[in-house]
Amino acid sequence: MGTIQDFIPARFTLSSWPSDIVAMPSAFDSIGIANLGFSNFTGAYFVATGSLQWLKEIAFDLPLIPGVSVALLSSGGITEVDFECTYSFGEFSVCLTDLSASLRIESTLLKKVELSGDEWVVAVDGTTGGPEAGEGGGRGRGRGGAPSRSRSR
């Protein structure tokens, strides 16, 4: 596990960032790289290994899917994930091991459903006649862990 002494902010490791085209994100002060190493250098192949570190949760929206985001979770203090980057004959790949991430969906995108016989159906709002809004965060369990008769999906 890394320490704050190992942490080098990405802002300092990305010296060739095209800041004249795109401003460097402020989040790069909270993201860093440690234990960087290179091996297997040949004309068209190399491997880089190290640890990607961040100080707080990193969340970003998914393009073209409004209301859905991905969060790279933080364990408090420094969160560290080992990586291996491979460049081979024009192809680049990155492997992140033990990454803890979460897919987040805004509760306004969810609809409340109810079990009707053997089938789940969208619950109808008695006032508007439209679908009832989801409550978000539901896992289909009522109080005490018993299965509920309605769900958000």
Q: How confident is the model at residue 3 (pLDDT cuts 50, 70, 90)?
A: low
Give the C-alpha separation, 82 to 49, whole Å: 7
Residue 42 in this model has a pLDDT that exceeds 60? yes
- Tell me how far apart the 2 most distant CA atoms of the chain are, in Å: 69
Percent of the chain residues topping a pLDDT of 90:
8
> Who has greater pLDDT, 136 or 119?
119
Residue 3, domain member (yes or no):
no
> What integer pLDDT is reported at residue 141 of this predicted model?
34
> What integer pLDDT is reported at residue 134 of this predicted model?
66
Domain count, the chain: 2
List Cα–Cα distances, 120 to 1, 78, 111, 114, 146, in angstroms.
46, 43, 11, 5, 17
Does one domain contain both 119 and 100?
Answer: no
52-61 mean pLDDT: 84
Last residue of a domain, one of 105, 121, 139: 105
* pLDDT 10s digits, 30-40: 888 888 888 87
- DSSP assignment, residue 106? -
Give the C-alpha separation, 55 to 27, whole Å: 10
Percent of the chain residues topping a pLDDT of 70:
83
Cβ burial of 82 (10 Å; 0-12, 13-18, 19+) is middle
141-153 mean pLDDT: 40
By the 8 A CB rule, do 61 and 68 touch? yes
41-53 mean pLDDT: 84
Does one domain contain both 112 and 101?
Answer: no
61 CB-side CA count, 13 A: 6
Q: Which domain does 16 fall in, by range?
A: 10-105
Residue 129, domain member (yes or no):
yes
> What integer pLDDT is reported at residue 84 of this predicted model?
92
* pLDDT 10s digits, 66-99: 899 998 887 777 788 899 989 888 888 989 888 8
Residue 119 in this model has a pLDDT that exceeds 70? yes
